[in-house]
Amino acid sequence: MSAYVPGPVMVAAGCGGTGRELEPFAGPDGLAGLDFVTRSLTLDPRAGGAGPRLVEVPGGLVNAVGLPNPGLEHFLATELPWLVRAGARVLVSIAGATMGEYADLARRLSRAPGVAGLEVNLGAPDEVGAGLFEVREPYHAASVIAAVRREFPSDRPVLAKLRPDVSRVVEGARSCHEAGATAVVIGNAVPAAFPDGRAGGLSGPAVGPVALRCVAEVHRALPAVPVIACGGVRDLTSARTYLAVGASAVQVGTALLHDPTTVARLRADLAAHHQEDA
């Protein structure tokens, strides 16, 4: 059995809180049936960076949140069971400092009840600064995917989340797919800086056209690889722009921070739109 490709609307990593905070705004069914990507989890707890972690800029925001998370054990004991009870399809985003950590995370998550799939964070805007495994080379990214795939059942999806860097993204998508990724997620926050020069990642409407270019090129070059688009999705128009160039699903990140009902609205709008088409 091959793994399903999530969608058409997903919650992007790090922008849905623990799920509980999103539930009041997620529509009549709450999180039930929603593809929810968790914030990236690491083996050990991480406090995250010192403030300010986010700053508003024209067209979006710059973040250096620093992957705050309670570590795998605490997540498995508290957040995961809650998400599963709420009916969410839980895709756990994982991040590691070494290849071994990625494999470890995948193995332990494969045994946790209710994990629908994994998203491997291979596109952090500043992985070295964040203390993550360096995956700038597509070869390294693919090795991580292969290591994760070995530990995670093949009937559940493993998504490779890549940086929207047009010079490398086709090669990255190809290698990750060959290494066993069910689909690729393009992209992530784009390397940028805070007003004081500190490293961060740009997200929101401003990065939409950047990710769109990458999604279009990957789909053109690799039509058989399912592509999930992520960057600046905020309404029916921005979502349909990605679907029109070949994306099979979209993720919503920054828009949820501005309006927590964005995912509920987009799900309803897309469903209505499909009905009109039919």
Partner 1 sequence: MPVPEVRTPVHVEGEVVATKRVGAHRHLTLTAPGVPERFRAGNFVAVSVPGHVARRALWIHRVRASSAFGPTLDVVLEARGAGTSWLAAQPVGARVPITGPLGRAFALPKDAVSCLLVGEGYAAAPLFPLAERLRERGCAVSLVVSAPDESRLLSALEARRAVRSVTVLTADGSVGQRGRVADHVDELLRRADADVVYATGPAEVLRASAAAAERAGAWSQVGLEVSALCGTGLCHGCPLPVVGEDGVDRVVRACTEGPVVRGDRVRWDAL
Ligand X SMILES: Cc1cc2nc3c(=O)[nH]c(=O)nc-3n(C[C@H](O)[C@H](O)[C@H](O)COP(=O)(O)O)c2cc1C
Binding region for ligand X (CB under 6 A): 12-15, 39-40, 63, 65, 67, 93, 121, 161, 188-189, 203-204, 207, 230-233, 252-255
Sheet holding 190-193, edge to edge: 54-57, 60-63, 199-203, 190-193
Residue 273: count of CB within 10 angstroms of its CB: 14
Among the listed ranges 42-50, 119-127, 129-137, 210-218, the one in contact with partner 1 (CB under 8 A) is 42-50
Q: Considering CB distances under 5 to 8 angstroms, the limit depending on partner class, which of ligand X, partner 1, none binds residue 50?
A: partner 1
- Nearer of residues 63 and 175 to ligand X, judged by Cβ: 63
Let me know if 134 is exposed, middle or buried by CB neighbors in 10 A (0-12, 13-18, 19+): exposed
* Cα–Cα distance measured from residue 138 to residue 257, given in angstroms and rounded to the nearest whole number: 31
Among the listed ranges 91-99, 121-129, 133-141, 251-259, the one in contact with partner 1 (CB under 8 A) is 251-259
Kindly state the smallest distance separating residue 53's Cβ from ligand X, in Å. 7
Let me know if 243 is exposed, middle or buried by CB neighbors in 10 A (0-12, 13-18, 19+): middle
Examine residue 157 and tell whether it contacts partner 1 (CB under 8 A). no
Report strand pairing: 60-63 vs 199-203.
antiparallel
Examine residue 189 and tell whether it contacts partner 1 (CB under 8 A). no
Among the listed ranges 10-18, 83-91, 136-144, 156-164, the one in contact with partner 1 (CB under 8 A) is 10-18
The answer to whether 90 and 31 have CB atoms below 8 angstroms apart is no
Kindly state the smallest distance separating residue 120's Cβ from ligand X, in Å. 9
| Joined tokens for residue 242 | 């990605």
| Residues in touch with partner 1 (CB under 8 A) | 14-18, 20-22, 24-25, 39, 47-54, 56, 60-61, 63, 65, 68, 204-205, 254, 256-261
